[in-house]
Amino acid sequence: MAIKVDLDLCTGCGLCAQVCPDVFEMGDDGYSHVKSGADESLPCVDEAIDQCPVGAITKE
């Protein structure tokens, strides 16, 4: 399983980083990114996916 943030959809609101800071971080570009080496199986990932207002986060 891999978590992806679609940067074409991401608005940079930061909700995912607030909900799941162990996995998501806001980059210098103002958009959300999955942290390198993050535990993508954490339960907060699903919450971040649900909270994203534009559906930019997916599991592949």
- φ, ψ dihedrals at 32, nearest 5°: -75, 145
pLDDT tens for the 60 residues of the chain, in order:
799 999 999 999 999 999 999 999 999 999 999 999 999 999 999 999 999 999 999 998
Give yes or no for a contact between 36 and 22, defined as CB atoms under 8 angstroms apart. no
pLDDT value of position 1: 77
Q: Please return the burial class of 49, using the count of CB atoms within 10 Å of its CB with bins 0-12, 13-18 and 19+.
A: middle
pLDDT value of position 60: 87
CB neighbours of 12 closer than 8 A, spacing ≥ 6? 26, 30, 31, 32
CATH domain 3-59 topology: Alpha-Beta Plaits (3.30.70)
